[in-house]
């Protein structure tokens, strides 16, 4: 085996080990040569760097804690009196836990927002944490010109209202919104506002076209007040279209994905929801409701794994007579059914769904590892491959074996004894363990290939 071949193989294996969770986000790489580079290490410097940025700027944010309450505006903000183009704001280490932009708490208005994006196009914010603010961690304003926004490998935590908000545009939909490898979480649910209202979502997006939301983790997005129901972890509405919600994980949630909300034919149209994983145990500590709610004409809901332990009778719901062509295929549930309400048409194209999978069919149910325990599991090799779902949650090609499997994971025989096997969804229990497993797996493989290299 020659040198080049060995290293090519090494990189192929290395890349294939990446499960698709926030902790596995690939680095964005070096800034473009054309960018002005500004490095900041205090909240004042960061605030000025954003507000004074010229087009094509990367702002590197050094590790540390950045106290929003010391700013006169109580928030960061891009300029809103002129168009700024191509702005990148990144934590310098690539670990979002190293750069903390924070206020005091979700109920303390001495910090209002993490950052507001106004008349700025082509924005990337990456590798940082925004937490403990009164309104939103990130608030995007297409009505003021914001467009082409990428939120990458960020942690949003403990905001008083939606963790991320896309405000209602007037004339134009927000296009080019990409949210990847982000964590949306509350320490212990959403607290009530001073008016007694629990008002939150993970993300509420009005009037977005083609939003991509993938490989994110939603955790503890429910109301602390057990008398109130928290809004959807992902709410996309107000004339939105063609949203793609792919490979996300939902752990302890009131409502999961809400694709259009109101009795309005244009609230959402199209869209695909695939390869997502949902888990919650039944509890009376917070109100529990739907996992996927759809009023969107022609929406596709494929290959999701939804384990809710009978905590709500209808994890899937379709509403209103205009919601035609909504198709559920190859979803794996442990309980409940699809509820067609308010004259919603019962789609006769549904197929391949299981609503009562037994927990002993999973690799490790107690650790919420919902891969098949072996090739004989009741959901393995059961369905034809859907072309737009030709990879699973972990990017394993479908099909393995004779047919595709039902749910978010495709069983792969040589996967079962892989040291990395547990890592794909252990994250919903402990991301720290997960990172450890990944590093261990990668180091093992690196070591093996170095051995091969020197031997040959």
Question: Is residue 392 at the binding interface for Ca ion, with CB under 5 A as the rule?
Answer: no
Closest separation in Å from C-beta 329 to Ca ion: 15
Kindly tell me which of 346 and 402 has the beta carbon lying closer to Ca ion: 402
Instruction: Give the nearest distance from C-beta 399 to Ca ion in angstroms.
Output: 5
Please report how close the Cβ of residue 412 comes to Ca ion at its closest, in angstroms.
Answer: 8
Task: Please say which residue, 275 or 400, places its beta carbon nearer to Ca ion.
Answer: 400
In the complex, least distance from residue 377 CB atom to Ca ion, rounded to whole angstroms: 10
Exposure of 424 in the CB half-sphere (CA atoms within 13 A): 26
How many CA atoms does the CB half-sphere of 224 hold within 13 Å?
14
* Residue 332: CB minimum distance to Ca ion, A: 13
In the structure encoding, which two tokens stand for residue 392, read together?
């699973």
What does the alpha-carbon distance between residue 257 and residue 278 come to, in Å, rounded to a whole number?
10
Q: Which of residues 227-266 bind Ca ion (CB under 5 A)?
A: none
> Do 302 and 267 touch, CB atoms closer than 8 A?
no
Q: Compute the chain's Rg from CA coordinates.
A: 22
Which lies closer to Ca ion via its Cβ, residue 208 or residue 277?
Answer: 277
Q: Which of 261, 252, 255 is nearest to 206 (CA)?
A: 261
Q: What share of the chain is helix, strand, coil (3-state, %, to 5)?
A: 15, 35, 50
Question: Minimum distance from CB of 411 to Ca ion (Å)?
Answer: 6
Whether the bond between 399 and the residue before it is cis, its omega within 30 degrees of 0, is yes
Q: Residue 404 Cβ, how far from Ca ion at the closest point, in Å?
A: 5
Position 64 contacts Ca ion (CB under 5 A) = no
**373 belongs to the binding site for Ca ion (CB under 5 A):** no
**How far apart are alpha carbons 440 and 442 in whole angstroms?**
5
Rounded CA separation 114/61 (Å): 14
Distance CA 373, CA 375 (A): 7
> In this chain, which stretch among 7-15, 53-61, 351-359, 405-413 interacts with Ca ion, using CB under 5 A?
405-413
Q: For Ca ion, which is the closer residue by CB, 278 or 409? A: 409
By the rule CB under 5 A, 330 interacts with Ca ion: no
For residue 344, give Cα distances in angstroms to 80, 164, 319: 43, 30, 5
Angle value at C-alpha 356, between 354 and 357, nearest 5 degrees: 80
Taking the least distance from each CB to Ca ion, the nearer of 195 and 387 is 387
DSSP 3-state assignment of 180? strand
206 backbone dihedrals φ, ψ, rounded to 5°: -90, 140
The dihedral region occupied by 299, where left means phi > 0, alpha psi between -120 and 50, and beta the remainder, is beta
Give min distance, CB of 73 to Ca ion, in A.
54
Between 179 and 396, name the residue whose CB sits nearer to Ca ion: 396
Stretch that binds Ca ion, among 31-39, 262-270, 329-337, 376-384 (CB under 5 A): 376-384
Q: Closer to Ca ion at the Cβ: 405 or 426?
A: 405
Residues 279-318 that bind Ca ion (CB under 5 A): none
Nearest to 332, CA basis, from 396, 271, 278, 255: 278
Stretch that binds Ca ion, among 19-27, 315-323, 378-386, 434-442 (CB under 5 A): 378-386
Q: Does residue 401 bind Ca ion (CB under 5 A)?
A: yes
405 binds Ca ion (CB under 5 A): yes
Q: How many residues bind Ca ion (CB under 5 A)?
A: 5
Q: How far is the CB of 291 from Ca ion (least distance, A)?
A: 24
Least Å from the CB of residue 375 to Ca ion: 8
Q: Which of 381, 412, 408 has its CA nearest to residue 393?
A: 408
Question: Are 271 and 210 contacting, i.e. CB atoms less than 8 angstroms apart?
Answer: no
Work out the angle between the directed axes of helices 431-455 and 3-16 (0-180°, nearest 10): 170
Around Cβ 188, how many Cβ atoms within 10 Å? 12
Decide: is 399 part of the binding site for Ca ion (CB under 5 A). Answer: yes
Question: Among residues 147, 368, 400, 434, which is the contact residue for Ca ion, using CB under 5 A?
Answer: 400
Q: Which stretch binds Ca ion (CB under 5 A): 158-166, 328-336, 380-388, 423-431?
A: 380-388
Task: Quote the least distance from Cβ 385 to Ca ion, whole Å.
Answer: 9
Stretch of residues binding Ca ion (CB under 5 A), selected from 182-190, 341-349, 350-358, 398-406: 398-406
Q: Does 381 bind Ca ion (CB under 5 A)?
A: yes
Q: Which stretch binds Ca ion (CB under 5 A): 3-11, 66-74, 396-404, 434-442?
A: 396-404
Region of 206-214, 230-238, 374-382, 383-391 interacting with Ca ion (CB under 5 A): 374-382
**415 near Ca ion (CB under 5 A):** no
Rounded to whole angstroms, the Cα distance separating 191 from 272 reads 31
- The residue with its CB nearest to Ca ion is 401
Phi, psi at 29, each rounded to 5°: 80, -170
Give contact residues for Ca ion (rule: CB under 5 A). 381, 399-401, 405
């Amino acid at each position: 085996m020659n040198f080049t071949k060995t290293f090519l193989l090494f990189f192929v294996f290395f890349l294939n080990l990446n499960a698709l969770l926030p902790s596995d986000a690939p680095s964005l790489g070096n800034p473009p040569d054309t960018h002005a580079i500004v490095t900041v290490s205090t909240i004042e410097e960061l605030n000025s760097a954003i507000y004074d940025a010229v087009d094509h700027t990367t702002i590197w944010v050094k590790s540390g804690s950045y106290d929003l309450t010391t700013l006169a505006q109580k928030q960061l903000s891009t300029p809103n009196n002129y168009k700024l183009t191509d702005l990148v704001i990144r934590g310098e280490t690539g670990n979002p836990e190293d750069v903390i932009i924070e206020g005091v708490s979700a109920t303390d208005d001495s910090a209002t927002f993490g950052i507001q994006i106004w008349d700025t196009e082509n924005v990337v914010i990456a590798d940082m944490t925004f937490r403990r603010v009164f309104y939103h961690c990130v608030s995007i304003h297409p009505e003021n010109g914001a467009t082409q926004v990428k939120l990458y490998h960020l942690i949003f935590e403990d905001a008083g209202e939606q963790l991320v908000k896309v405000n209602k545009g007037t004339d134009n939909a927000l296009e080019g919104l990409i949210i990847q490898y982000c964590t949306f979480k509350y320490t212990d649910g959403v607290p009530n506002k001073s008016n007694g209202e629990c008002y939150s979502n993970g993300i509420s997006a009005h009037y977005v076209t083609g939003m991509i939301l993938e490989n994110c983790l939603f955790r503890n997005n429910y109301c602390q007040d057990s008398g109130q129901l928290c809004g959807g972890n992902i709410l996309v509405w107000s004339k939105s279209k063609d949203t793609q919600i792919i490979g996300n994980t939902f752990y302890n949630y009131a409502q999961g994905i809400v694709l259009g909300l109101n009795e309005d034919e244009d609230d959402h149209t199209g869209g695909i929801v695939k390869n997502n994983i949902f888990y919650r145990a039944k509890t009376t500590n917070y109100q529990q409701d739907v996992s996927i709610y759809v009023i969107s004409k022609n929406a596709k809901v494929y290959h999701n794994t939804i384990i809710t332990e009978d905590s709500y009778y209808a994890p899937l719901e379709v509403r209103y007579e205009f919601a035609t062509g909504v198709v559920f295929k190859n979803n794996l549930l442990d309980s409940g059914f699809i509820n067609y309400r308010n004259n919603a048409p019962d789609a006769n194209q549904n197929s391949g769904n299981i609503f009562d999978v037994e927990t002993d069919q999973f690799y490790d149910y107690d650790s919420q590892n919902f891969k098949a325990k072996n090739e004989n599991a009741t959901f393995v090799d059961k369905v034809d491959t859907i072309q737009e779902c030709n990879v699973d949650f972990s990017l394993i090609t479908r099909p393995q074996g004779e047919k595709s499997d039902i749910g978010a994971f495709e069983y792969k025989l040589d996967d079962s004894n892989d040291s990395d096997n547990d890592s794909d969804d252990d994250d919903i229990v402990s991301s720290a363990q997960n990172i450890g497993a990944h590093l261990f797996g990668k180091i093992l493989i690196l070591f093996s290939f170095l051995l091969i290299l020197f031997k040959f």
